[in-house]
Structure 1
């Protein structure tokens, strides 16, 4: 167990750290990695990942020191692309226009996607596209459920709350937003609000969100 998260047995399987050459096997492999990433990030309240970040290159999430295996930055980007495609992450910064992310099934296994040593110094181009994501381990629907439940339980139906109150106030404390990242919550706020029943906020532009008062009915 690492920081409150129990890794599944496959995390201790050496070939799991190398992108498999068979496309069908690779898809299953990346799906499993995506679930591990979401589970670990939720258990540890982690909201950002970077393919060449110092934490990622040494963390138990992507490194197994017993096996001396680590996921390469190139393979991390494939995992990131899968999460983004399944609405479980957002690229931060946004992906370049017309650029194609390295999706599983479109990237051939090569030396760049081969497992690396968990103990060796590793690095890569920090500005490479598709390297950084915001992890959305809780769906807009789940955030919306928590938000609306708090509104109802505290008798604030019909009250106007500012975005600052939603992200940093008592609601944030009760729904774990405070423990997270404001940009993650902000990036999903329109979808969260739409699910929770606030059409005005849902139709607002992202930059205007922070200037709006929010009224739940």
Structure 2
């Protein structure tokens, strides 16, 4: 196999395994490639990775891309090196919410069903019209939740997608009914969603996890990033 093709295949595999859509768009900006050069709405992850890598090679940025992906992979390993205890606590939190949402129908609706997927910060700031404080918190926290989610998947925990689907329905059919879009702004609904989720947490979970409040915010932000909620 041609060495360049081999490098491309290796990078595509690394990006597909270790990155999500927001990671790819962030890396592209880091190496000076505009997302609009390769991204388009509803593009599957594998195709997005392939198109991104192809564009990087066309622009002569293959070495920069490899360096950036490796740096992010090292960061992922470093964050995961704290051990499985944090993931175990995270999975207990996820299971608790799944139990709370047990009566919500499990039939899935597609991510981005209500809105074309767009870059996370733009979604938060422009589409959801959330305050700058919430946007900054989302950018800061979301990557940590992404790491925990990937680690949970690596440990064969498959229910995370079910949870965010149910959370999306809880937002639409509980929060938006209590706080209608034409009467309350996004910041108000975000606050009520967070407070209602926090109120669901039993004392034993709260006492055993000093970061549980950030985890709750992170789950909300992750659901927002997939364009499942705050599409108004």
TM-score range, shorter chain: under 0.3
Normalised by the length of structure 1, the TM-score is 0.25
Specify which structure has the higher proportion of strand: 1
Normalised by the length of structure 2, the TM-score is 0.24
Between 1 and 2, higher relative CO (CA 8 Å, sep ≥ 6) is seen in: 2
Specify which structure has the higher proportion of helix: 2
